[in-house]
Chains A and B, each alone.
Chain A
Amino acid sequence: MSGVRVLVGTRKGAFILTSDASRKSWKVEGPHFAGWEIYHVKGSPADPDRLYASQSSGWFGQVLQRSDDGGKTWQAAGNDFQYSGPTSTHQWYDGSPHPWEFKRVWHIEPSLNDPDKIYAGVEDAALFESTDAGQTWAELPGLRTHESAQEWAPGAGGLCLHTIVLDPKNRDRMYIAISAAGVFRSDDAGKTWRPANKGLRSNTMPDEDKEVGHCVHRIAMHPSRPNTLFMQKHWDVMRSDDAGDSWREISGNLPTDFGFVVDVNSNDPETVYVVPITSDSHHFVMEGKLRVYRSKTGGDDWEALTKGLPQKDCYVNVLRDAMTVDELDPCGIYFGTSGGQVYASADDGDSWNAIVRDLPAVLSVEVQSLK
């Protein structure tokens, strides 16, 4: 590997952080799209120079940007996200019906094989696909028209499709997660979907183990073991070893199991990372200490990673798309905070350094491992 490129989306623009493989010295470029909320920036695994960015604003709406040169220059791509066919209603916060309305793109997931193919998860929840590098978009309507959709309800951030996980060994299989509906799996490239939430319990629902309605915050997969999934739910850290057919809790000795992020070490599918957050009302780390928790046993047994992270007077949050791992050995882990810091570890999480400390609030962090 020659280095890494970290793609950071913030409340007021995008930043690109680059380093050689040592991951010790960093160059910070940006802001790109200054003043706009950048919910997500992600590169194509098939062509690292191809980047996509979701740019939105309460004033000017949704824009998609594409770069073909690794972020040096950008062009506006298509922003026509129209639901396919009639829209119905989902539940509003008070349980009343609320019409489906497009608001923004939360998550971009480029195809593993084709740089021109890309998926977008949007609010109000739906999945879109582009096969021409983001110029035009078509909804995969089987998800939004699922029989359970009228029961879906927004989380605090809205009714958002925020996670898209592609199975590297089965091109027809993909997973998405919606707050607050839960995980859905497709085995036919997005045409049809079924809920994959058995084993989840949420006391925010009158029927705590109903299969749809859970506020799933994030799911993660190691590419070598695609049937194993890890989940950070609103509360509870969960694991599935049967492609989402069933889940079991692995919160174990975590000090709190509320949080947003979860990710898996690129060199060890049993090493998992989370950042516990005090609670759903506090939305900051516990006791003023920023701690990443690592399990080397696939869950249940967790250790706090604190070296290089603030352990006093720290009250930041780490949002669901704001942690990622690189493909180097030792594995690099990166996360961004609501306080504008982006932290990196180049040693599996044993120690941390702030790449940059004073960005706008960080919404998303992705990394590309460059050859």
Chain B
Amino acid sequence: MGLVSLPARAELQVNVTQGVTDPIPIAIVPFARAVPADGGMDIAAVVQRDLESSGRFRAMQRRDMLSTPTRPADVQAADWKAAGNDYVLVGRVTAPSASELDIECDLVNTLTGQRVGGKRFVANSSSLRNAAHMVSDFVYEAILGVRGAFATRIAYIAVQGQAPSQHFQLIVADSDGESPKVILESAQPIMSPAWSPDDQWLAYVSFENRLSGIYIQRVRTGERRLVSQRAGVNQAPAFSPDGTRLALTLSGSGGNLDIWLLDLATQQLTRLTDDPAVDTEPSWSPDGKSIYFTSDRAGGPQIYKLDIANPRRVQRVSFGSGYVARPRVSPDGSKIAFVTREGGNYRIAVQDLASGTVSVLSRGSLDESPSFAPNGATIIYAGRDGAIGTLQSVSVDGLVSQRLTSSQGELREPAWEPFQH
């Protein structure tokens, strides 16, 4: 069983396919370096790529910078304003000891000349890139008022080869596609990756024994447990917000898919739905009190909601086209994203739960598997680029779309890591 190492360079590349019409101009000045302790990491370049990939910022070209201050006191705000920037980011990397790196940054508003704020992060050489994403998160929140999600990761499935002999990988990468790590490989399908709320575990479905089985795997160590391999279907795991239970789909040998709860400590199973229809794709509300799921009890698939304290109380939530499936609840609980059919095309839509308003956000023909970024601002999903499956994302307001191109084969089922509080 050989170890597999992916090349260290980026395997995913972010391309902004549509941005806002009026992005915020910002100058991200190269940081003062700690040579050689920083290993050559260009923090400002990572931050620039993050912010530009969001579609909300336009960064000044380095060659146009007339000076390269690294401290806020040295920023001549009027000059940067004259060059068309609303903000200037400066920063320093220092190495107080052989194993420790300090990253400090300051954001200056060029209109007022005032320092908007600053941050300091402590890192080592292997966590320096993550610290750069945290700088991006700081800038994003300081300017837009929304927490950034650059320092989070995504899990997804990559598939190589042609049917019927394909090769499946479960991969975890930074949100910008860097540092991809294969955490499971199989000649049989792998499906439905789902993060635990503490981001230590991934649940997924693997068919490695020619049966469907639900596993949970500790991302850092690879330690894993088979938590359900009952007769028939074992599918669609979703961790409860407190991490103690999994919602999952079981069919038994009779083939009737229903949603159940599995207590991870006691292994106790509790049935939630009992309907001859297909009930599947559970997604928890953030308060842990209800579950949204797909059911075709009324004919075509639609989204329903059940109350965990009283699971017989089921309420239909979607009333759209003849096909609405795979709900994911937004982190604040105010919206659901799902797959809907428009004409012959499967697309990603978002529904505001209070008003019922539905907005179709994607434009592909076979878009599926939506997953909210932890800040709720963006939805990542699987789409197609010609014949190949790719990961794409769209902002919840529909203004910014991105495509992540890859050399890893066909990409599916992205799952965005939750925030760690």
Q: Do A and B come from one complex?
A: no
